Structure 1
C-alpha cells in the first residue's frame, strides 16, 4: 500500500499544497461550521420538526424557503469571514470559486422551481422536456464553472494535465479498482436501505416512461450532466476546494465526504438516504487523499461510477439510488 501511495503521489509533489494553505484551527474549522455544520443541522431540525415536510403540505413552501435561505446565507458568512482573514490568498489560490458555487446553485434552483411550478399537471412528454431543460441548464452552469476553475486555479490545471500525460496507466488501474470499490459500497448500502433517494428520483423519473423523443432527450441530458460534467464539478468543489479550506488531511477527508453527501440531500431533507452518497464519497475521498490531493484520480472513478448507475437506471428504472 505504501508503494502504491508513493507511486500516485510522485506525479503531483511539485504542485501539492492542497492540505496546508491555511490554519486548520483558525480558518478551516470556522469555514466548515458555516458551510456544512450549520446548514446541515438546521436542515435536519426543520425536516424532523415538520415530519420531513410530507405531512404539512400547506407549510412546505415556507419551510423549503427557510431551508434555502440558510443554505445560501450561512456559507456566504463563512466565506466572508475566511476572506477577511485570508485576503492575500483568497483570489490567488482560487478560494473565491466557492463563492460562485454557493450562490449560483441556489439561484438556479429557484429559477428551475418557478419554471417547473405546474409540473404536476404536465403530460409525461412535457415533463420529460422540462426535466431535460433543467438538467441541461445545470450542466451548462457547471461546465462554465469548470472552465473558470481550470483557468483561475493553477494547481488544478497543471497537476491535472501533467498527471494525465505522465501517469495515465496508473489512472486506468486506480479507476478500475476505484469503481469496483464504489459499486461495492453502494451494494452494501442497498442491503441496509434500498429506497431510492429524492435526488436520484428527481433526475430519472422520466426514464420510467415509454420510448419517445422526449425520453431520448432526457437520456442524452442525463449522460451529459451525470457522466461528463457533474463528476468533475463535484470533485473540484467537494475534494479540492473543501480540502484547501480545511487544510488538514485527516479532517479534510471527513468533511469532504460529509459535504459531498450533504449537497445531495439538504435541499430535499432526504436524510434517510444520506448513506447512498456517503458510502461512494468515502471511496472517492480516499483516492483523492492517497494521491496527495489530485482530482485526476478521483474524477474518472466518479464519472464511470455515474455512468454505470445511469445504465442501470435506463435498463431498470428505479432500480438504483
Structure 2
C-alpha cells in the first residue's frame, strides 16, 4: 500500500514544477480556485454555456422549417449574452482575467468566428455568384483564424506558453506515456459513445459528415491534417480546459461545464442536439486528464492531438 502511495506522490510531483522555478516567475502552477465559483463561476456558466445553448435548442426546434435563420439568430443572441458575462467578469478583476489565461475562452469564442465572417464577406464581394464556400477555403480560413487566436492567447498570458514549453522540455517521457495511455482510453470511450449515438439516431451528425467532403483531393487532406491535428487541439484545449477551469473556480464544476461546452460547440452550428452523446466522452475524459495533471494544459493538448490524429488516419483510410 505504501509503495502505491509513494508511486502516486512521485507521479504528481513529476507533473508539478520545481518551486525555485515558480519563485523565479518562469512557470506557474494552475490554480483551480482562481475565481469564486459561487459568483464568477456561475456568471460564466450561465452566460457562456447554459443560456446560449438553451436559446440555440429552443430556436432550432421552434423554427425547424427556417433552421438556418434560427441558428444564425441564436448565435448572435448567444454572443451578446456571453459578451455581457465576459465584460462583467473582466471589470471585476481585470488583471486576473488576462494574466491567468481566462481571456483565452473569449478569444476562442469571438475572434475566430469574426475573422471567418470577415473573410467570407470579402470572398462574397470578390465573387458575388459564390453560393457556398469551397471546402479548401473553409479549412484555410479556420486555420488562419485559429492561429491568430492562439497568438493572442499566448500574448495575453505568456506564462501559459512558458509552462507548455517547460513541460515539453523537462517532462518529455512522462508526457508521451500519459498522452498515449489517456489517448487510447478516450478513443475507445469515444467509439463506444459514437456507436451508441448511431444506434439511437440511425445516422451520424452533420458535423462528422462534413469532414468527409472534399477528401478526394490531396490538398484538402493536408489542410484537414493541419487543422484537426495541429491547430484545433491547441486552441480548443486553451479555451475549453485552461479557460473554463480558470473561470469556473472549482475543478468539478469546471469538469461539468467544460464537458457540456466541448460537446455543444461541435453541434451548435447545426442544432443537432440529439447527437450530443457522441461528443460527451472526449470532453469529459480530457477534463479528467486536466485535473489529474494538476491543470497542465500541455497534456490535454497533446492527448487531443493524438486522438484527432488517429481519427484522421481512420477517416482518410476509409476514403481511399
TM-score (norm 2): 0.85
Match of 2:109?
Answer: 102
Match of 2:271?
Answer: 269
CA 1:174–1:222 in 2, change beyond 3 Å: closer, same or farther?
same
Aligned length: 299
Match of 1:212?
Answer: none
Match of 2:37?
Answer: 24
* Contact 2:30–2:296 under 8 Å retained in 1: no
Matched, 1:205 2:192: no
Match of 2:25?
Answer: none
| d(CA) in 2 for partners of 1:191, 1:267 | 22
Shift of 1:97: 3.4
**Aligned ranges 1:244-283 → 2 under 5 Å:** 244-283=246-285
Match of 2:89?
Answer: 82
* Unmatched tracts of structure 1, length 5 or more: 210-214
Shift of 1:269: 0.7
CA 1:61–1:273 in 2, change beyond 3 Å: closer, same or farther?
closer
Shift of 1:108: 4.1
CA 1:161–1:106 in 2, change beyond 3 Å: closer, same or farther?
closer
Shift of 1:293: 0.4
Matched, 1:41 2:49: no
Shift of 1:193: 2.0
Shift of 1:174: 0.7
CA 1:12–1:151 in 2, change beyond 3 Å: closer, same or farther?
farther
Match of 1:229?
Answer: 231
Shift of 1:290: 0.3
| d(CA) in 2 for partners of 1:161, 1:144 | 19
Q: CA RMSD in A?
A: 2.4
1:26 aligned counterpart, secondary structure: helix
Matched, 1:187 2:187: no
TM-score (norm 1): 0.85
* Unmatched tracts of structure 2, length 5 or more: 23-27
Match of 2:170?
Answer: 166
